[in-house]
Amino acid sequence: MRDSKVRVAVLVSGGGTNLQAILDYIEAGKMPDGEICAVVSDNADAYALERAKKHNIPALTLLRKDCDSKEDYENKLLALLRDHGTEVVVLAGFMRILSGEFVSNFEDRMINVHPSLIPSFCGKGFYGLHVHEKALEYGVKVTGATVHFVNSIPDGGQIIAQKAVRVHKNDTPETLQRRVMEQAEWKIFPKAVSDLCRKIRKGKK
């Protein structure tokens, strides 16, 4: 149906806190133009899969060890996404770097959130707590989160939204990570997904 909701697949590797933020946003009626059609993980033990099941969303696992090569993995992942009619791909703590060839299937329709103000503390090797460790090591007074489109360069796609968060004097990587999630990631990421769905749905009409 031309005016149906935009189908969003979320790729995850761990706990799925950003997935939960998106689910909460949907439940609050703030994403009228999009729906999650599948949650896919490269980790069979990812708690994010339980979050998906609780919301009756297909929770799928695709393990790298079950594939012959990175190319084989990406081909199977693409087939999985297409089987679920995916129009938008959201990377919510997905720990695999996807090839430019794979990303090109979802040009301007694949987004990620990164726990710093890009271009600071980003790129290959900067993920999870490591980002916050580096921010504290460097002594920055302000950090934050960035939502960006995904391209072939890690954290190199066009910036969609950013939100700054203050660094406190007694912060540890863990306390800073939590504040960045609560004050930045969980606010700008769901909104960015919703805005993208609105734009795509409008284009369908």
Distance CA 195, CA 197 (A): 5
Q: Is 168 a catalytic residue?
A: no
Residues pairing with 9 in the sheet: 38, 89
Task: Scan for tokens 């990377």, then name that residue.
Answer: 91
| H/E run at residue 77 | helix 70-83
CB 59 within 8 A of CB 49: yes
Q: Which two tokens stand for residue 59?
A: 């929770």
For residue 52, give the nearest of 16, 77, 28, 91 by alpha carbon: 16
Beta carbons of 92 and 57 less than 8 angstroms apart = no
Give the CA count within 13 Å in the CB-facing half-sphere of 117.
12
For β-strands 142-149 and 110-114, DSSP reports them as: antiparallel
Of these residues, 114, 132, 148, 168, which one is catalytic? 114
Active-site residues, by number, are: 114
